[in-house]
Structure 1
Amino acid sequence: MTNSWFPSGKEVRDGWRLDIVSLLAVIGESAMADHSQTMTSSWMCMLPRIIPAPQVLLKSSRPSRMPQVNAAVVGVHNGVYVQSLNFFPNIIHPIENLKPFEFKVFVIKHRNASPPVVTPPTPANKQRQVSASSSIETSHLESGTTLQPRRRDTLRARITHRGTNVDDKKPHVPARFWSPLNCLSLISFFLTIGLFIWAILTHDGTACVALFTISLASSIVGYASYWSPALMNRNNNSKVPLGDVVIRTREGAFIVVRCDEEVARELYNGTEECQYYVDTDPYRVLVGIGTCLLMISVVLLGNCDFQMQISIGASYIVLNGAYWGVALMNKRRFWDLSSYEWTDVTPESAQGAYLEQDANDVEGRPSFTRTLWYAIRETKKIGWVKTSGAAPTTAKWAKWLEKAEDAAIRGDWRWDAVRQKDATVGESDSVPQAEAAFKDTATEHAPAVQVPMQDRIDTE
C-alpha cells in the first residue's frame, strides 16, 4: 500500500480506453442554454471551435419568437392591448427591476430618424372636440404625423448589420460585434487552433481527429441554427395616432413610454420573429449530422494522450467558467440597440412612487391607486385603463377615473387621488377586508384583468 494520499504518475496502457475527460465536453448545459439563442444570432456561431455542452444546440425544433415576459401592454392612443412584453423593450427598461408601485416614464425614438413633418390642422379640425375618455385620439389621425422614410444607418451600423438581415423589408436588431459571447467565440476559435497545432506537434492523431470532428460539429450546428431577429414595421403612409404605450406589471408598477407608431409597432405591438437562414428540413438533417459527429468526438476525446487530455480538459474548464460569468452580464452588452435612443423623463414628483413620504397621510404612502394616478396624469387619458383592465370595472371606479382624467387635463398635479378614491369608492387601500365584511367589496379592490405570474415564455 502506498503512503501517498493522491495517485501519482499516469497509466501507461496500449489500445483504446475511455477516460472521464470526455464528460467535460458535455458539462455546462445550464449556462449554455441561456446563451444558445443569443450566440446563434451572430455569424461567429459558425466558427469551428470547441464549446461547452454543444448538445444544447441539437434541438429537434427551433424557437419561432424571442422570449417574452408577462405584463399588460396597452396603447394609449391606438388601444392595442397585449399581455406580454417583448424581449428587446425589456432590455431597454427591465420590468424585473421595478419595485412594487414604482413609476417610470421613457421617451424612445429612432436615433437617426428625420424630424416628423406635421400637417397644419384645418379650421374644421380645430373645431373638433375629442372625447376625453376615448382610447384613440382622432385628432392625431386627421392632423397627425406622416410616416417618414426609413432612417439611414450609419457606416458602423451597416457593417454591424451585414450578414444579419434576412429580410430587407423588416428592421432587424443584430448582435453586437464585440459582445462578450462573440469575444468568447473568437477566443475559443483560436484556442482550438492552438490545441490542434499542439496535437500535431505531439503526434497525437486521435486528438487531431477529435478536435476536427467536434469543431466541424459546432460549425454545422451553428450554421443550421443561424438566425436574425426581425421586427414588425409599417408598410404604408397612412396617418396613425401616436404610439404611446403604458406597461403594467403584476406588482402594480407602471411604465409610460412616449414614442411614435413606428417605434411602438417594432418594439411593443408587433411580434419579434426569428428568421432562420436554413429551412426546417435541412436544419434537421444538419442537426443529425452534428449529433453523429459529436458522439464520435466524445469517444475520441477519451482516447487522446495524457498531455492532450490535460490541455483539452483545462480548456473546457476555463470556457465553462467564462460562459457562466458572461451569463451574469447585462443583456444590453449582447444586442446592438444603436438604432434606438431612450431617455428616462420620469417627473421628479413621481420618482419615489414606491417610497413612503408620509406614513400619516394616505397620499404619502405607496399604493396602486397613487401610481395609477401618476400614469393617468402623464397620459391624460383613461381609455387605456379600461382597455387593459387596470382598474375595477365598477360604476364607482368609473366615476373616479373620470375625475382623475379631468384633473390630468387641467394640469392639477397635486390632485389627491387616493382621498378621492376613498371618498368615491368608499373603501381605502389600507382598510383590511375583514373590517369591510358587512358588504362585498372584492370587486372594488382588484384590477379587472390581473397580470399573470411573472414567467419567461420561450415560444417554440
Structure 2
Amino acid sequence: MLNFPSNRVGWDLQAVGILAVLGEGNIKINALLICLSRTCLLPHLLPAPQGLLVERRARTLQAEEDIIVRSIFSGNVIDGLGYFANILHGPGDGDYVCRVIDLEENPDESYETPCFHLRNLSPLNVIAVSSFLLSIGLVVWAAVIQDGAAVVGIILMSMASPLLCVGSYWKLFLPVPRGQSLHVPKGDVIFRTPSECITVVHCNEAVARAVYFPPRRLHYVFKSWLGLSIGGIGGGLTMIGGIIMLSNSTWTMQAALVVAYALLNIAYWFAAVISLRMPRVFWHWRIKAAIQETQGESYLHVLWLAIQASRTTSWALQGDFIPQMDYWKDWLAVAESHIDDNLWDYQTALQDAIRRQQDKAAETFNRNTSGNQT
C-alpha cells in the first residue's frame, strides 16, 4: 500500500530552490532581448537568473552564417545575413528556388525612429512587469504572515535579476533612413544559400543599409569590464543568499513560490518559442516586404531567373555564383544580351559556350603542336 504524508507539514517543498534555477535555456535564448529593455532593471523574480551570466559579452546581433550578402550596385559585401533581415524574410530554405523580394518603407508611419524597435508591450516586457508586481505581492503576503525568511529571500531573489542585467544592459542604434525626403539610389542586394536558393532584393540604398549593412556592434551602457564583474558577482551572491532564505521559509510561502516559479518558467518558455517563431510580436518595423518565389528545375535555371530579376550579370562574377571558367563567363555575356527574352534557351546556350571554349582550346593546341613540329 502506498503511503503519503498525512498533513502539509509532512511535505518537503525544498523544490523551490530547484525551480528558482530551472529553465536556464529559456533565459539564455532571450538574454539579449531581456537586457535590451529597461524593464530588466526592475527588481523581479526571474527563473534561472544565472542564465544572464556570460563569459563575455556578445559583440553583434546573431546573423545567419554561411551566407555572403552583396550589393548589386554599390559593391557592399558582408558576411552573414543580418538579424533583422532574418526577421523580415529569412534566408530561404527551398532547394533550387529563386526569390524576388521588394522592400520599401511604409509611407504611413513616422520617419523619426529607426526601421526596427522593440515593442513596449513585447511578451518579455509584459512578463517582467507582471513578475515585478508578483514579487511585491509575495513580499506583502510574507510580511502579513510574519515570515521573515520569505521576505528577505524574495527581496534578494528579486534584486539578483537587475544586478545580473546591469553588466549586459545594451541599447540598439540603427540608422534612420529617410528614403522619401531625399533622392536615394538603388540598393538592390543578392545572396545565395547552401541549398542553392538565390534571393534578389529590390530596395533603395537607405533600406539596404538599415536591413543588410547596419552597424552590428552592440552598445553596452556599462562599457567597462568592472560593470560586468560587479553585476555578476553581486547578482550571484544575492541569488545564493535568496535561495538559502527561501529554503527556510514557511510551508505556505514555499508553496506560493513553487507556483510562482512554475508559472514564470512556463511564461519564459513560451516567450522563447515566440521569439523564434513570431518575431513581429517582439519587434515593430516600418518596412514592407513582398516576396515572390519561383521553383527552378536546376541551379542553372535559378541563376537565369536571378539574372532576369536583377537585370544584370555583374554580381555573378563577384562571388561563388558560378565556377571561374571561361565558358561560364561566355555564357553570362550572352545571357545579359537576352535578359528580356523569356524564350531564350539558357541550357543550349551553356552547351554552345562549352563547345566554343573546347574549339578554342583545340585550335590553340593544334597551333602550338604545329609550331613545335616546325
TM-score tier after normalising by the smaller chain length: 0.7 to 0.9
Counterpart in the other structure of 1:196: 139
Conserved in 1, the CA contact under 8 Å of 2:246 and 2:254? yes
Q: What is the CA deviation profile of residues 202-247 of structure 1, one whole-angstrom value per residue up to 9, with x for unaligned ones?
A: 2111111111011112122233322122235799xx9985210012
1:272 and 2:272 correspond: no
Q: Which has the higher helix share?
A: 2
Conserved in 1, the CA contact under 8 Å of 2:99 and 2:294? no
Counterpart in the other structure of 2:365: none
Counterpart in the other structure of 1:110: 105
Q: What is the CA deviation profile of residues 429-454 of structure 1, one whole-angstrom value per residue up to 9, with x for unaligned ones?
A: xxxxxxxxxxxxxxxxxxxxxxxxxx
How far off its partner does 1:381 sit?
Answer: 1.2
Counterpart in the other structure of 2:342: 413
Counterpart in the other structure of 2:262: 317
| Closer/same/farther in 2, CA of residues 260 and 9 from structure 1, 3 Å limit | same
RMSD of aligned C-alpha atoms? 2.7
Q: List aligned pairs for 1:105-184, cutoff 5 A.
A: 105-112=100-107, 152-153=111-112, 171=114, 173-184=116-127
Sequence identity (%): 29
Q: What is the CA deviation profile of residues 121-140 of structure 1, one whole-angstrom value per residue up to 9, with x for unaligned ones?
A: xxxxxxxxxxxxxxxxxxxx
Counterpart in the other structure of 2:200: 256
How far off its partner does 1:51 sit?
Answer: 1.0
Determine helix, strand or coil for the equivalent of 1:269. coil
Tell me how far apart the structure 1 counterparts of residues 284 and 137 of structure 2 sit (CA, whole Å): 31
How far off its partner does 1:172 sit?
Answer: 7.1
How far off its partner does 1:26 sit?
Answer: 0.7
Q: List aligned pairs for 1:346-361, cutoff 5 A.
A: 346=292, 351-353=293-295
| Closer/same/farther in 2, CA of residues 392 and 8 from structure 1, 3 Å limit | farther
How far off its partner does 1:27 sit?
Answer: 0.7
Determine helix, strand or coil for the equivalent of 2:284. coil
Determine helix, strand or coil for the equivalent of 1:272. coil
Q: List aligned pairs for 1:195-274, cutoff 5 A.
A: 195-231=138-174, 241-274=185-218
How far off its partner does 1:379 sit?
Answer: 0.9
1:282 and 2:227 correspond: yes
How far off its partner does 1:18 sit?
Answer: 9.3
Conserved in 2, the CA contact under 8 Å of 1:172 and 1:229? no
Tell me how far apart the structure 2 counterparts of residues 396 and 113 of structure 1 sit (CA, whole Å): 49
Determine helix, strand or coil for the equivalent of 2:36. coil
Question: What letter matches 1:341 in structure 2?
Answer: K
Q: List aligned pairs for 1:449-460, cutoff 5 A.
A: none
Tell me how far apart the structure 2 counterparts of residues 108 and 404 of structure 1 sit (CA, whole Å): 26
Counterpart in the other structure of 1:334: 282
Q: Calculate the TM-score normalised by the size of structure 1.
A: 0.70
Question: What letter matches 2:2 in structure 1?
Answer: S
Q: List aligned pairs for 1:295-306, cutoff 5 A.
A: 295-306=240-251
Q: List aligned pairs for 1:372-451, cutoff 5 A.
A: 372-408=303-339, 411-425=340-354
Counterpart in the other structure of 1:433: none
| Closer/same/farther in 2, CA of residues 215 and 233 from structure 1, 3 Å limit | same
Conserved in 2, the CA contact under 8 Å of 1:41 and 1:227? yes
Conserved in 2, the CA contact under 8 Å of 1:42 and 1:174? no
| Closer/same/farther in 2, CA of residues 54 and 416 from structure 1, 3 Å limit | same
Tell me how far apart the structure 2 counterparts of residues 48 and 192 of structure 1 sit (CA, whole Å): 8
Question: What letter matches 2:45 in structure 1?
Answer: I
| Closer/same/farther in 2, CA of residues 425 and 296 from structure 1, 3 Å limit | farther
Aligned length: 348
Residue in structure 1 matching 2:129, options 163, 167, 186: 186
Conserved in 1, the CA contact under 8 Å of 2:13 and 2:254? no
How far off its partner does 1:332 sit?
Answer: 2.2
Tell me how far apart the structure 1 counterparts of residues 119 and 236 of structure 2 sit (CA, whole Å): 29
Conserved in 1, the CA contact under 8 Å of 2:115 and 2:177? no
How far off its partner does 1:112 sit?
Answer: 4.4
Question: What letter matches 2:111 in structure 1?
Answer: R
Question: What letter matches 1:258 in structure 2?
Answer: H
Counterpart in the other structure of 1:438: none
Q: What is the CA deviation profile of residues 267-310 of structure 1, one whole-angstrom value per residue up to 9, with x for unaligned ones?
A: 21233221112222223222221111111111112111111111
Determine helix, strand or coil for the equivalent of 2:283. coil
In the alignment, structure 1 segments of 5+ residues that lack a partner are 115-150, 158-170, 355-365, 427-460
In the alignment, structure 2 segments of 5+ residues that lack a partner are 356-374
Determine helix, strand or coil for the equivalent of 1:256. strand
Question: What letter matches 1:413 in structure 2?
Answer: N
| Closer/same/farther in 2, CA of residues 425 and 304 from structure 1, 3 Å limit | farther
Residue in structure 1 matching 2:290, options 340, 343, 355: 343
Counterpart in the other structure of 1:8: 6
1:62 and 2:57 correspond: yes
Conserved in 2, the CA contact under 8 Å of 1:247 and 1:254? yes
Question: What letter matches 2:116 in structure 1?
Answer: V
Conserved in 2, the CA contact under 8 Å of 1:242 and 1:261? yes
Question: What letter matches 1:375 in structure 2?
Answer: A
Tell me how far apart the structure 1 counterparts of residues 186 and 205 of structure 2 sit (CA, whole Å): 5
Counterpart in the other structure of 1:308: 253
Tell me how far apart the structure 2 counterparts of residues 290 and 62 of structure 1 sit (CA, whole Å): 16
